[in-house]
Amino acid sequence: MLPSFETAQKIFAEFEINLTETEYAAFLTYAEFMVEYNKKVNLTAITEPHDILVKHFLDSVIPLTYIEFEPGFTLLDIGTGAGFPGVPMAIMHPELSLTLMDANGKKITFLTELCEKLRDTIPLNVKIVKGRAEDCARGELRAAFDIVTARAVAPLSQLAEYAMPYAKIGGTFLALKGASESYEQGAAMVEELGGDLADFVEYNLSGGDLRRLFIIEKIDITPKKYPRSNAQITARKAPRR
């Protein structure tokens, strides 16, 4: 279902990522289950083996190579869908305490079954939460995570409002974006939410697709009024200064 282990290892090595046979076995289980499940629930349009390896798995794990983290760090992946980028990150780093969040019940069921299937290869320390990011941020999950991730589910100005309330002060928000996004488009909202751009990375995946990674540090408390309702967030109005 995936390219051979040797091929996958070479592709990951292009980004100085060492892929082990155990990790590859977990990715193989993941890919096979996702493609089969995709026949009844729309999880992804990417189903070709090489593209799954590169555009889902490799693309998900590259961001963790740009930050320092410790065993036991908590990571929240909002709008995770079929588990990207959170599950691949945890496969490569099972010491992470992972929380997956999505509002779609069918995807939550998929994620639950997926994590059970992975248990025999790489048991993950994972919690799965069904809910909308703008709603769950009002409870015990607020300011509870060392790392918050989101993968291209909204423009940066909106994505930051969904994600930043969950990050601890001193924590990191990793925004995985495509080629069209610029930091300037979301800078005012990031600052309003207590964030600061710590680093910006561009890289090309195997095959040429450009990716942009915004590494945002949480330096101050997010004001209580955020996140707003989904309707207000998607209205795209800049915060008042």
154 found inside a domain: yes
74 found inside a domain: yes
Please report, for the domain that includes residue 30, its CATH number.
3.40.50.150
241 found inside a domain: no
Q: What are the pLDDT tens digits along the chain (241 aa)? A: 899 999 999 999 999 999 999 999 999 999 999 999 999 999 999 999 999 999 999 999 999 999 988 888 999 999 999 999 999 999 999 999 999 999 999 999 999 999 999 999 999 999 999 999 999 999 999 999 999 999 866 899 999 999 999 999 999 999 999 888 889 989 999 999 999 999 999 999 987 789 999 999 999 999 999 999 999 998 855 444 4
181 found inside a domain: yes
Ordered DSSP codes for the chain: ----HHHHHHHHHTTT----HHHHHHHHHHHHHHHHHTTTS---S--SHHHIIIIIIIHHHGGGGGS---TT-EEEEET-TTTTTHHHHHHH-TTSEEEEEES-HHHHHHHHHHHHHHTTTS--EEEEEES-HHHHTTTTTTT-EEEEEEESSS-HHHHHHHHGGGEEEEEEEEEEE-TT--GGGTHHHHHHTTEEEEEEEEEE-TTS-EEEEEEEEE-SPPPTT-S--HHHHTTTPPPP-
How many structural domains are present in the chain? 1
Domain that includes residue 83, residue range: 5-233
pTM: 0.94
